[in-house]
Amino acid sequence: MTKQSFEGVSEGRRRNMQSNKSRDTKPELLVRRLLHGLGYRYALHRHDLPGRPDLVFPSRKAIVEVRGCFWHGHGCALGQMPKSRQDYWSPKLRATRKRDASNKKALEEAGWRVHEVWECDLRTGPSSIIGPLQEFLGPPRSQS
């Protein structure tokens, strides 16, 4: 992020924004623990795939992306556009959605199946995502 991006922003807000992580977020760690507990094994953030997907299941040709509603422009209450500095946020979030769509298209063209888990779905409880994830991934492999 350029210095100009933070023009007119307090030092506290600037530090807060810079501390946001792109990986190992609370929602991502929750999904990882949940899937591991169900017996699924996966690779993390593979550098050889477009967008460095969160969870990669190579033998299933499947990818699970854990999306933050705000950062990825979800239409839910958590994904609402801020009322201040819309000249900054609007292009930034629009670019993120465009990049997400481009990465998903590239993955699908390469033969991968992609499933998105949204932060707001996790807030209703992990049980709300278990069924859709199991349906998407199929049964876990037996651990011999």
Which pLDDT tens digit goes with each residue over 117-126?
999 999 888 8
**In angstroms, what CA-CA distances link 127 with 30, 130, 133?**
12, 5, 10
| Cα distance between residue 102 and residue 94, in whole Å | 12
The pLDDT tens digits of the residues spanning 18-76 come to 555 567 789 999 999 999 999 999 999 999 999 999 999 999 999 999 999 998 989 89
In the three-class reduction of DSSP (H, G, I as helix; E, B as strand; rest coil), residue 141 is classed as coil
**In angstroms, what CA-CA distances link 110 with 47, 50, 64?**
15, 10, 15
- pTM for the model: 0.82
How does residue 4 score in pLDDT terms, banded at 50, 70 and 90? very low
Give the chain's domains with CATH numbers.
Answer: 21-136 (3.40.960.10)
